[in-house]
Amino acid sequence: MKDSTYFIILSILDKFLWRGSLINGENLPKEGPAVFVCNHLATQGPIGTMCSIHMRFYPWIIADMVDKELAPDFLRIDFVEPSLRLHPPLSGVIAKLISIISVPMLTSIGCVAINQKQYTDLQNSLHESTHLLKQGRFVLIFPEDSLAELEPQTEMRPFLKGFTRLGEIYYKDTGKILSFYPVAIHQSKKVVVGEPVYFNPSNPPPLERYRLKDLLEEAVTDMYLEMEKGVESSRSHCLG
């Protein structure tokens, strides 16, 4: 998909579905490559982040969502029934209709399919992402562990660390340091960009993976809580 088509699609989604705002846009890099790491916020995270940050992203996505056979059932369970509050058999029909549009669109956007249960597939995804990074592209990742408990205050799950290996692979292939940008998205439709965290090749790989994961997860959590505090303060002021 051409960049112009990509931004036209996002402008339509922004107008009709999102209409959010970007905070700390000055932290955005002038050029790539870079990895952006964001909380998922149910179904809002990917759309809201891509609409708010006007950069061409190549997002990681669950492999089922770009598989025309598996996408209908995934959409039914993950989106149609919980978000639209529909029930079978109608939920299955709606999910199938959505998948007819969503699968080719997500594929054309250049999403990187992720199947974290299969090590070989994850390896392929990491190398596909590194190929994009070597072209100066921006990769967008939502690394929450879908099997972990949801933290009620932040509506986040703990981060998985597999994505941090992009720093290792990119450095090994290019000898250059990769930057990771924390991004927090809030129910108030605000998106905040934090200062970058840089891969450190001097650290042993296992230690560096945990360091990057922890720093990025902490940054995203802190930015989310800061936005939550601001929303609560506004509510208190209005009530007062």
In a domain, 26, yes or no: yes
Q: What is the pLDDT along the chain (240 residues), one digit of tens a residue?
A: 888 899 898 999 888 888 889 999 999 999 999 999 999 988 788 889 999 999 999 999 999 999 999 999 999 998 899 888 999 999 999 999 999 999 998 998 899 998 866 656 688 899 999 999 999 999 999 999 988 999 988 989 999 999 999 999 999 999 999 999 999 999 999 999 999 999 999 999 999 999 999 999 999 999 999 999 877 666 555 545
- pLDDT of amino acid 44: 82
Whole domain around residue 122: which residue ranges? 3-232
The residue behind tokens 């790989």 is: 205
- pLDDT of amino acid 203: 97
In a domain, 64, yes or no: yes
DSSP-based helix, strand, coil % in the chain, nearest 5:
55, 15, 30
In a domain, 240, yes or no: no
Angle at 143 between CA 35 and CA 123, to 5 degrees: 75
In a domain, 38, yes or no: yes
Query: Where does residue 119 rank: exposed (0-12), middle (13-18), buried (19+ CB within 10 A)?
Result: exposed
Residue 113: beta bridge partners?
61
Residue 206 sits in a domain whose CATH number is 3.40.1130
- pLDDT of amino acid 201: 97
Angle at 63 between CA 58 and CA 66, to 5 degrees: 75
In a domain, 94, yes or no: yes
Kind of pairing between the strands at 190-193 and 179-185: antiparallel
In a domain, 239, yes or no: no
In a domain, 131, yes or no: yes
In a domain, 118, yes or no: yes
- pLDDT of amino acid 51: 93
* pTM, full prediction: 0.91
The total number of structural domains that make up the chain: 1
**What confidence tens digit (pLDDT) does each residue in 78-90 have?**
889 988 899 999 9
